[in-house]
A and B are shown apart, each in its own frame.
Chain A
Amino acid sequence: MTVGLRVSELGKRFAGRAGPVLDGVTFDVPAGEICAILGPSGAGKTTLLRIVAGFDRPDAGSVVIGDREVASPGSQIAPENRGIGFVHQAGALFPHLTVGENVMFGLHRFSGAERRSRWDEIAELCGLEGFAERYPHQLSGGEQQRVSLARALAPRAGLVCLDEPLSNVDPQRRYELGDELRRILKQAGTTALLVTHDQEEAFSIADRLGILAGGRLVQIGAPQEVYRRPASAFVADFLGHASFLRGVVKGADVVTEIGAFDAVEGQSAGAEVEVLIRPGDCLLAADDDGTAMVESARYAGEHWVYDVRLGSGRSLRCDIDAIPHEVFRPGARVRVVPRTREAVAFGVD
């Protein structure tokens, strides 16, 4: 594996803040992969990205881009010498330059002919044909972000950093643009680091997903793996609605009040665990003798969202497709039917 980006034991404190902003953050991004760092606000995401880009200095640890160490506490390569691209939240296009001039800004060491051919390539890749003479204020938010990405890619950046690239785009166009950004990045073959607090943005763009909380990287892996196998209850809760049921390990099973799931390795027999249930994991069946009762029902278009009170008193969230489906009213007695035996369990402290 060629390393695109290697971040080792990165630490950063700010004067006047009690805890560290970043604390021992370590991860690799293989060349050509898109890595998203997801975390709540204040988790240190932006600081991480700015240290990688060279806008901030780390207090501890190092950053390697390609085969070159670009930052460590003792030495720091200037951002202009790192061979990176940076896409800001709102694009940060130079307002006094046309789209063409913006995209070619980083090509000052290229000859005129090279610049023109590079513009043609990039314009085709990013769908900017015919945009060369326009000014940034004549573009929509999504178009601005495409230009910003084109500008970052034009000098053949080894690494592209993206700071919440979809946050200023209107909701209808967001995921469309997310797909577009992913296609462009993959086609360009660049390594990319993206930070965001929007999990759908992260899921739609990334090959690899890291979760940053309180300055620490708590988990990193493929998006579906992080979602299905969260390393902690915090991660599970952060990535989407999570309900937890009490379970007991019996042989190869974890037995809960709604049924048995496959036990995860490392749990000893008889151990009590908390089992994670996602809203899509269960179905509901009408059952007058059922121990569970519908507490609330909310219509959400494609599906219904139910909150169900179980016999033990625990609460469970279930998303049920609107078609084909009978509607349960609050107060209805129901039975909860798991749709899978796969589940994640966390030890009880």
Chain B
Amino acid sequence: MPAGSDVKRAGAQSRGFTAQSRGFTIVAALLAGLVLLPLVAVAWNALTPRFEVWEHLARTQLGGLAASTVALLAGVGVVAGTIGTGLAWLVATREFPGRRFFSWALVLPLAMPAYVIGFVFLSVFDYGGPAAQVWQSVAGADARLPEARSYWGVVLVMSLVYYPYIYLLARNAFAERSMALFEAARSLGLGPVAAFRRLAIPIARPALAAGLALALMETLADFGTVSLFGYPAFTVSVYRVWFGMFDRVAAGQLATVLLVFAGVLLALERWGRRAAKFSAPPGPPPSRAALRGYRAWSASALCAFVVGIAFALPASVLVLWSVRAAELGVAWQALGRLAGNTALIAAVATVLCVGAATALAYATRLDRSRPLARLVHVSLLGYAIPGSVVAVGVLGVLAAADRLMESGTGAIGMRELPLLATSVVGLLFAYLVRFMAVAWLPVQAGLLRITPALDESARALGAGPRRVLATIHAPLLRTALVTASTLVLLDVMKEMPATMLLRPFGFDTLAVGIWQATTESLWLQAAPPALAVVVVGGVLVAALSKTLGAALPAGALAEVRA
């Protein structure tokens, strides 16, 4: 064979090789860019020189909004932090009746969207509700319960649903610590309380900071609860400016402020970890000290109390009302449609998010260049961004795309194109931006556990990158993919603000159904869809409880900084 043809053949195959792995790099870069686009669009609003509404807002509301947001974050941080850390310490280091059960049952409130527990709380404790009636029958007709729609009401409700983030991460951090550390502390004369304060807390600080940041991100993103309680929060203002004033620029400018808050939380989380990079010395985990007598029973009672008010009681109330709604013939007819829409959109969104996350993770495995890794990590920030901000950005992007298409099709004489901005595309886009990171972490962790030697062996045996992914990685990633899908399903099902802002007209999901009923205080009508969310969510959380600690997005946030 002449030398020339050799070279040509080599050249052709060389293009095949680089094009194939470059293919994944390009797909990953495009995906990351797509996901970042809405955030850029939001920030763009802040630069748009149209400030009439903004100035009005700044004069009348902005200071108050900022103050109330900081107050809310501080309140939830303290209450949820105390509940989460305390219970984690109890479960990780003490033995008491029912400990194993509570260890996972304490995670269950994650299945309960804040707006659900919020409306249950309101319906029971609000003026004229059952609690007030009972109280009046005991304490006299003029007796009043403390106002439910208050700062402390919101803080309590949010703390009850978001403490599990702190609990999970702290529990794992406490459980990983070597017994040798605690034995050393005891030998140095530290009692259990001093050991907790001087050893456990500082060592678990990275995990605590990550858990706290996650809980506060959820607090910041919440829309349903604050609007239900009439609490002045940014998410509500964005919604009002959008639908009340139809001023997208002003809404975007408000969303930018929210973006800044999210950035501060990310920085807080980063600082918490950066400040303390401890590695656990290897060794057996601390053995749990058995509590006896009344101490043991009060530990069980404390856990039961938290699980009770954060999950069991609200769930029971929902069951009760759903039954009554069925008797009255309310709400159940619509449930099938709501559930169907939710299942459909959640299924598609899950496939999208898990698929995109897998493509990203695999691309960074094939192409270890720095710029790609940076881009991918930045694209995972969507998780920290409130759904209402994402929605504003997505609408901005899609409206621009619609205008582009309109001018394009106008030129060739076509009319009546389906508008992207009002289609289901926007909804899926927003879910992708927000929840791709949720899927990315378990997939990435799973991929890291697969030794590159397997990829290399398969490549040497003639398998291209796509076949390696399909025949080697996919089967080995099965657990990780199931975990990722479950997490995304759970989040999409619970997500309210993005769904509210972006759903196509008439496309109601369970979350939307709950919101519409609760804004009019139609508690009975809200109960069946809420019960559906809680039951499905409870099953998903229970299925995940073993792996959830490791799969929480805190790890993803940790990766973001890498």
Q: Which residues does A use to contact B, with CB under 8 Å?
A: 53-55, 67-70, 72, 74-86, 88-90, 92-96, 105-106, 108-109, 148, 151-152, 155, 157, 161
Contacts and interface: CB of A to CB of B under 8 A. Distances in A.
A93 B457 CA distance: 8
A94 B14 contact: no
A94 B464 contact: no
B460 A84 contact: yes
18 contacts: A53-B460, A54-B460, A74-B11, A75-B10, A75-B11, A76-B14, A78-B20, A78-B464, A80-B462, A88-B456, A89-B453, A93-B457, A94-B472, A96-B475, A152-B460, A155-B461, A157-B460, A161-B460
A95 B476 contact: yes
Contact of A96 (B17, B456, B460, B476): B476
Given A80-B462, A94-B458, A69 B13 contact: no
A80 B14 contact: no
A155 B17 contact: no
Interface stretch (B1-9, B82-90, B319-327, B415-423): B1-9
A92 B457 contact: yes
B16 interface: yes
Contacts of A83: 462
Given A67-B1, A80-B459, A80-B462, 12 more contacts: A54-B459, A72-B10, A77-B17, A78-B13, A78-B20, A81-B16, A85-B460, A86-B460, A95-B476, A105-B463, A106-B463, A152-B461
A151 B461 contact: yes
Given A75-B11, A78-B464, A69 B17 contact: no
B194 interface: no
Interface residues of B, number: 29
A83 to B, nearest CB: 8
Interface string B446-484: 000001011011111111100100011001100000000
B456 A53 contact: yes
A72 B14 CA distance: 10
A95 B473 CA distance: 11
Nearest to B11: A75
Given A67-B6, A68-B6, A106 B13 contact: no
B453 A79 contact: no
B60 interface: no
Given A55-B456, A92-B451, A95-B476, A77 B461 contact: no
Contacts of A93: 457
Given A53-B456, A86-B456, A88-B456, A81 B462 contact: yes
Contacts of B187: none
Given A76-B14, A76-B18, A69 B460 contact: no
B454 A76 contact: no
B457 A88 contact: yes
A77 B462 contact: no
In the A-B complex, the 9 residue pairs with the closest CB atoms: A106-B461, A78-B17, A92-B453, A86-B460, A75-B14, A79-B459, A88-B453, A77-B13, A92-B457
B10 A77 contact: yes
Nearest to B460: A86
A108 B17 contact: no
A157 B457 CA distance: 13
- Among A75, A86, A95, A151, max chain B CB count under 10 A is at A75
Given A76-B18, A92-B453, A95-B476, A68 B460 contact: no
A253 B17 CA distance: 59
Contacts of A86: 456-457, 460
Contacts of B464: 78, 80
A80 B366 CA distance: 14
Nearest to A75: B14
A70 B454 contact: no
Contacts of A105: 458, 461, 463, 471
A136 to B, nearest CB: 11
Contacts of A67: 1, 6
Contacts of B463: 80, 105-106, 108
A155 B462 contact: yes
A274 B462 CA distance: 51
A161 B453 CA distance: 13
A69 B454 CA distance: 25
A161 B476 CA distance: 25
A88 B459 CA distance: 13
B460 A81 contact: no
Nearest to B459: A79
Contacts of A79: 456, 459-460
Contacts of A74: 11, 14
Interface string B467-507: 10001100110000000000000000000000000000000
Contacts of B11: 74-75
B497 to A, nearest CB: 41
B234 to A, nearest CB: 45
Interface in B158-183: none
A80 B468 CA distance: 11
Contacts of B458: 94, 105
A67 B463 CA distance: 22
A106 B460 CA distance: 8
A74 B8 CA distance: 12
Nearest to A154: B461
B3 to A, nearest CB: 9
A78 B16 contact: yes
B155 to A, nearest CB: 49
A75 B367 CA distance: 18
A76 B13 CA distance: 8
A72 to B, nearest CB: 8
B462 A69 contact: no
B475 A68 contact: no
B366 to A, nearest CB: 11
Nearest to A68: B6
Contacts of B456: 53, 55, 79, 86, 88, 92
Contact of A80 (B454, B461, B472): B461
Question: By CB atoms of chain A within 10 A, which of B18, B453, B472 has the most?
Answer: B453
B16 A70 contact: no
B454 A68 contact: no
A88 B460 CA distance: 11
A263 B460 CA distance: 49
Nearest to A148: B457
A81 B12 CA distance: 11
B459 A69 contact: no
A218 to B, nearest CB: 28
A69 B1 CA distance: 12
A328 B42 CA distance: 88
A247 B371 CA distance: 60
